[in-house]
Amino acid sequence: MDLSVINPLLFIAGFLVAATPLIFAAMGELVVEKSGVLNLGVEGMMITGAICGFAVAVETGSPLLGFVAAAIGGALLSLLFAFLTQITLANQVASGLALTLFGLGISALLGQSYVGVKPPRLGDINFGPLTDIPVIGPILFTHDIILYLGIALVAATWAVLKFTRAGLILRAVGESHDAAHALGYKVVRIRTMAIMFGGACAGIGGAYISLIRVPQWTEGMTAGVGWIALALVVFASWKPWRLLLGAYLFGGITQLQLNLQGAGVAIPVEYLAMSPYVITIVVLVILSRDKSAAPASLGRNFHASS
């Protein structure tokens, strides 16, 4: 065992990368849940985004176009969920599971010819002299644009939810769809838009894994990140900045266990690999006492009967 092989600077830079897919997926889900909808299909939308992004990036040679395609792919898949839960009023838990099962299948189908292919690389942003600042430079200024977009997404979501009328309406719909309807807000339309936003975010998160973090395509490569993202929303009590913190925490744990595996620590690889999941459970237990922050209509279907 040789812990000295872990370079602290690379470790921190690495966990910022590990956290980014989580930030996107969880941020999208946070908005969806704020509108009162529980979409358990995050994993399915992520993996679909991962393959859509990967395929388009490989075919066009442009990783950025790949991310656009990933967002579209995720949003399209989420539209299926929106149809089931908003139009046909199907159970949200079952529909979310269906989305995940379907997404895993469709991504495997789409990805057949991409196994083993190397995607084009998305270069880091050139910050010029900033990169040369000791310690801070290598940690903060050696990343691609999507990573910074993730942080911007957190800030933007926070601001929109807190300060704008659109955010207020979204929260109101999630709080009581009957009251919102009585005031004349279009509950189904607002929720559908939130679901599509969540799908697009999850898609980008998935593509970040297949295009940047790994980067290659394998079936089922999201390996539960979508589910951890769901847990993260609970962890964050539906608050954007807490969500960012949580994503870094999980990113850190993932990166740490990978580094420990590399350093040949005496713990078997499998036990290190299960640690993020175990820690997710532990965190859920600690934080599940307080559910008061959850949107009151979460998971309930709305039908304007009269």
Partner 1 sequence: MTDTKPFLALSGLTKAYPGVVANSDVSLSIAPGEVHALLGENGAGKSTLVKMIYGLVKPDSGQMQMNGAPFAPSEPRAARAAGVGMVFQHFSLFDALSVAENIALGMENAPKMGALSQQIRDVSDIYGLPLSPDRVVGDLSAGERQRVEIIRCLLQEPKLLIMDEPTSVLTPQEVEILFKTLRKLSAEGTAILYISHKLEEIRSLCDSATILRLGKVVGECTPAETSARDMAEMMVGTVLQTPTRAGKTPGDVVLDLKNLSAKSPSAFGMPLRDISVQVRRGEILGIGGVAGNGQDELLAALSGETLSAQGMVSFQGRDVGLLGPTPRRSMGILTAPEERLGHAAAPDMSLTENAMLTGAEREGLDKGGMLNWPAARRFAEKIIADFDVRTPGPGNAARSLSGGNLQKFVIGREVLQRPDLLVVNQPTWGVDASAAASIRQALLDLAENGTALIVISQDLDELMEISDRFAALNEGRLSEPRSAQGLTVDEIGLMMGGAHGMEVAHV
Partner 2 sequence: MIRLEKRPEPSRAVSLATPVLAVLATMFFGGLLFMILGKPPIQSILTIFWEPLFGEFAFYYRPQLLIKGAPLVLIAIGLSLGFKAGIWNIGAEGQYIMGALFGAGLGLAFYPLDAWYIFPLMVLAGAFGGWLWAMIPAFLKVRFGTNEILVSLMLVYVAEQFLASMSLGLLKNPEGFGFPGSRNLQQYDAAFNAELIEGSGMHWGVVAALIAVIFAYVLLTKHRLGFAIRVTGEAPRAAKFSGVNPMRLILFCMGMSGLLAGLAGMFEVAGPAGQVTIDFNVGYGFTAIIVAFLGRLHPIGILLAGGLMALTYIGGDIAQSNLGLPAAAIQVFQGMLLFFLLALDMFTNYRLRFGRSAEAV
The residue ranges that bind partner 1 (CB under 8 A) are 165, 168-169, 171-172, 175-176, 178-180, 182-185, 292, 295-296, 306
Q: Which does 137 bind (CB under 5 to 8 A by kind): partner 2, partner 1, none?
A: none
Residue 84: alpha-carbon gap to chain centroid: 22
When the beta carbons of 99 and 147 are compared against partner 2, the nearer one is 99
Query: Which residue stretches of the chain are H helix?
Result: 8-34, 42-60, 63-82, 92-110, 136-140, 145-163, 165-175, 177-182, 187-208, 225-235, 240-263, 269-287
Q: How far is the CB of 172 from partner 1 (least distance, A)?
A: 5
Which of 294, 281, 304, 303 shows the shortest CA–CA distance to 35? Answer: 294
Residue 43: alpha-carbon gap to chain centroid: 9
76 contributes a contact to partner 2 by CB under 8 A: no
Distance between CA atoms of residues 113 and 54, nearest Å: 11
95 contributes a contact to partner 2 by CB under 8 A: yes
**Per CB under 8 A, which of residues 223..282 are in contact with partner 2?**
223-224, 227-228, 230-231, 234, 268, 270-271, 273-274, 277-278, 280-281
Angle at 159 between CA 170 and CA 96, to 5 degrees: 45
Q: How far is the CB of 261 from partner 2 (least distance, A)?
A: 12
Which of 18, 1, 43 shows the shortest CA–CA distance to 265? Answer: 1
Contact 248, 21 (CB under 8 A): no
Contact 226, 43 (CB under 8 A): yes
Instruction: Kindly tell me the burial class for residue 257, based on how many C-beta atoms sit within 10 Å of its own C-beta (0-12, 13-18, 19 or more).
Output: buried
Which of 196, 207, 205 shows the shortest CA–CA distance to 114? Answer: 207
Which of 25, 3, 1, 64 shows the shortest CA–CA distance to 251? Answer: 25
**Per CB under 8 A, which of residues 28..57 are in contact with partner 2?**
40
When the beta carbons of 80 and 196 are compared against partner 2, the nearer one is 80
Pick from 3, 93, 117, 179 the residue near partner 2 by CB under 8 A.
Answer: 93
Size of the residue set binding partner 2 (CB under 8 A): 46
Q: How far is the CB of 117 from partner 2 (least distance, A)?
A: 17
97 contributes a contact to partner 2 by CB under 8 A: yes
Q: Which does 175 bind (CB under 5 to 8 A by kind): partner 1, partner 2, none?
A: partner 1
Q: Which does 168 bind (CB under 5 to 8 A by kind): partner 2, partner 1, none?
A: partner 1
When the beta carbons of 167 and 224 are compared against partner 2, the nearer one is 224
Instruction: Note the residues at the interface with partner 2 (CB under 8 A).
Output: 40, 80, 83-84, 88-91, 93-95, 97-98, 101-106, 108-109, 112, 219, 223-224, 227-228, 230-231, 234, 268, 270-271, 273-274, 277-278, 280-281, 284-285, 288-289, 291, 303, 305
